[in-house]
Amino acid sequence: MRYLSRAMLGLAVAGLFTTGTKAQEVVENNQKDFNEFMNRSGNMYRAASGKPGPEYWQNETDYKIEVSLNDEEHTIKGHIELTYTNNSPQELDFIWMHLEQNRFTEDSRGTLTTPIQGNRYNGDMDGGYTISNLKAKVKRSSSSEYLITDTRMQVFFDEPIPANGGEATVSMNFEYKIPVDGMDRMGRLDVKDGTIYALAQWFPKAAVFDDVEGWNIEPYLGAGEFYLDYGDYDYKITAPASHIVVASGELQNPKQVLSSKVRDRMDRASKSDSTVYLIKPEEVNDMSLRAKQEGTLTWHFKMENTRDIAFGSSKAFIWDAAKIDLPSGEKAMAQSAYPIESDGQGAWGRSTEYSKASVEHYSNKWFEYPYPVAINVAADIGGMEYPALNFCSWKSEGASLWGVTDHEFGHNWFPMIVGSNERRYAWMDEGFNTFINYYSTVAFNDGEYPARLNKTRNMTGWFTSEQREGIDTYPDVSNLRNLGMIAYYKPAIGLLLLREYILGEERFDNAFKSYIETWAYKHPQPADFFNHMENVSGENLSWFFSKWFYGTGNIDLGIEGVRQYEGNYIISVSNAGEIPMPVKMEITYGDGSSEEVTLPVEIWQRGDSWNYQHRTDKSIESVELDPNKILPDVNSGNDSWPNSFYQD
Verify cis geometry, omega within 30 degrees of 0, for the bond prior to 52: no
Nearest alpha carbon to residue 379 among 335, 301, 316, 459:
316
Mean pLDDT of 347-355: 98
% the chain with pLDDT above 90: 93
DSSP string spanning 525-589?
Answer: -HHHHHHHHHHHHT---HHHHHHHHS----B-EEEEEEEEETTEEEEEEEE-SSS---EEEEEEE
For the stretch 516-550, pLDDT in tens is 999 999 999 999 999 999 999 999 999 999 999 99
Strands (E), 207-252: 209-210, 214-215, 231-240, 244-247, 250-251
Q: Are residues 262 and 221 in the same domain?
A: no
For residues 267 and 403, state if they share a domain.
yes
Domain identity same for 214 and 330: no
Q: How many whole angstroms separate alpha carbon 570 and alpha carbon 563? A: 5
172 and 248, same structural domain?
no
Three-class DSSP category at 72: coil
| End-of-domain residue from the set 388, 419, 450 | 419
Asked if the structure places residue 479 within a domain, the reply is no
**What pLDDT was estimated at residue 118?**
81
Is residue 295 pLDDT above 80, yes or no? yes
Give a yes or no: residue 107 inside a domain: yes
Question: Among 246, 102, 83, which residue's Cα sits nearest to residue 174?
Answer: 102
Whether the CB-CB separation of 636 and 605 falls below 8 Å is answered with no
CB 37 within 8 A of CB 545: yes
C-beta separation of 585 from 597 below 8 A: yes
Quickly state the pLDDT bin for 12 (edges 50, 70, 90). very low
Residues 260 and 379 grouped into a single domain: yes
Considering the domain architecture, whether residues 283 and 336 belong to the same structural domain is answered as yes
Neighbours of 225 (CB within 10 A): 21
Quick one: 294 exposed, middle or buried, by C-beta within 10 A (0-12, 13-18, 19+)? exposed
Looking at the fold, whether 87 and 127 belong to one and the same domain comes out as: yes
Q: Are residues 147 and 241 in the same domain?
A: no
Helix (H) or strand (E) holding 312: strand 311-314
Q: Is residue 619 part of a domain?
A: yes
CA-nearest of 61, 523, 516 to 305 is 61
Q: Are 453 and 489 in contact (CB under 8 A)?
A: yes
Find, among 595, 639, 630, the residue nearest to 499 by Cα.
630
Number of Cβ atoms within 10 Å of the Cβ of 520? 18
Q: Using the 3D structure, point to which of 229, 249, 284 is the last residue of a domain.
A: 229
Range of the domain at 123: 57-182+201-229
Name the pLDDT band for 3 (thresholds 50, 70, 90).
very low
Q: How many CA atoms lie within 13 A of 257 on its CB side?
A: 22
- Residue 634 scores a pLDDT above 60: yes
Q: Say if CB 470 and CB 486 are below 8 A apart.
A: yes
What is the per-residue pLDDT across 27-83, written as a single tens digit (0 to 9) for each? Answer: 689 999 999 999 999 999 999 999 999 999 999 999 999 999 999 999 999 999 999
**pLDDT score recorded for residue 116:** 84
Above 90 in pLDDT, residue 23?
no
Over residues 413-448, the pLDDT tens digits come to: 999 999 999 999 999 999 999 999 999 999 999 999
Taking alpha carbons only, the member of 531, 505, 341, 513 closest to residue 413 is: 513
User: Given a cut of 70, is residue 2 above it in pLDDT?
Assistant: no
How, if at all, do strands 276-279 and 318-325 pair? antiparallel
Residue 528: inside a domain, yes or no? no
Average pLDDT over residues 152-157: 98
CA distance 503 to 498: 5
Average pLDDT over residues 207-216: 98
Give pLDDT, residue 25. 65
Candidates 459, 511, 521, 506; CA nearest to 485 is 459
In a domain, 302, yes or no: yes
Task: Measure the CA–CA gap between 530 and 141, rounded to whole angstroms.
Answer: 44
Q: What is the DSSP letter of 60?
A: E
* Residue 390 and residue 317 share a domain: yes
Domain boundary among 364, 384, 419: 419
| pLDDT exceeds cutoff 80 at 344 | yes
Task: Based on the fold, state whether residues 335 and 358 are members of the same structural domain.
Answer: yes
Residue 15: its pLDDT value, please?
A: 47
Residue 640 has pLDDT above 80, yes or no: yes
Examine residue 485 and state whether it is found in any structural domain, yes or no. Answer: no
Q: For position 19, what pLDDT does the model report?
A: 47
Domain count along the chain: 3
The mean pLDDT of the chain is 94
Task: Give CB contacts under 8 A, 24+ apart, made by 88-92.
Answer: 88/57, 88/59, 88/163, 88/164, 88/209, 88/211, 89/55, 89/57, 89/163, 89/164, 90/163, 91/160, 91/161, 91/162, 91/163, 91/166, 92/157, 92/160, 92/161, 92/163, 92/166, 92/168, 92/209
Tell me, yes or no, whether 84 lies in a domain. Answer: yes
Q: Are residues 215 and 81 located together in one domain of the fold?
A: yes
Q: If you compute the radius of gyration of the chain from its CA atoms, what whole number of angstroms results?
A: 29
For residue 431, which of 452, 406, 414 has the smallest C-alpha distance?
Answer: 414
What mean pLDDT comes out for the span 481-509? 97
Answer yes or no: is pLDDT of 18 > 60: no
Residue range 381-397, pLDDT digits in tens: 999 999 999 999 999 99
For residue 12, being part of any structural domain is answered with no
Q: What is the mean pLDDT of residues 583-594?
A: 97
Residue burial 102-135, b: 16+ Cβ < 10 Å; e: rest: bbbbeebbbbeebeeeeeebbbbeebbbebeebe
CATH number of residue 393's parent domain: 3.30.2010.30
144 shares its domain with 286: no
CATH number of residue 216's parent domain: 2.60.40
